[in-house]
Amino acid sequence: MSTTTATTAEYSVSGMTCGHCVSSVTAEVRKLDGVTAVNVDLAAGRVTVSAAGAIDDAAVAAAVAEAGYQVVEAPKDENPGASCCGSCH
């Protein structure tokens, strides 16, 4: 029996301005293998992707591009699970 580790990654996406943008990005990213959830924060320009296994940043960027937008910042893997500044975890 193999175990799969669930992962989550957050991306900054430029160009999203309305609910249609949210729907388009969500639909394209959800098509990726293993993706279990997509949460788009329109106000912050952030897309959070959850998957059953590893998340392919290039595939997410391609899906976002297919929807008509651009990933401008991919997640950093320097210290997975830590907070942004490292002080609260």
DSSP letter string over 23-35?
Answer: HHHHHHHHTSTTE
How high is the pLDDT of residue 5? 83
- Mean pLDDT value across residues 20-33: 97
Residue pointed to by tokens 């937008």: 69
Quick one: tokens of 36?
């279990």
- Mean pLDDT value across residues 56-76: 91
Look over the chain and give the mean of its residue pLDDT values, rounded to a whole number. 86
Helix and strand numbers, DSSP H then E, in the chain = 2, 4
Residue pointed to by tokens 């989550």: 8
How high is the pLDDT of residue 82? 43
Give the rounded percent of residues in the chain with a pLDDT score beyond 70: 79
C-alpha 84/C-alpha 88 separation (Å) is 9
Is the predicted pLDDT of residue 36 greater than 70, yes or no? yes
C-alpha 84/C-alpha 67 separation (Å) is 28
pTM higher than the cut 0.85: no
Helix (H, G, I), strand (E, B) or coil at 78: coil
- Mean pLDDT value across residues 63-88: 69
- Mean pLDDT value across residues 31-47: 96
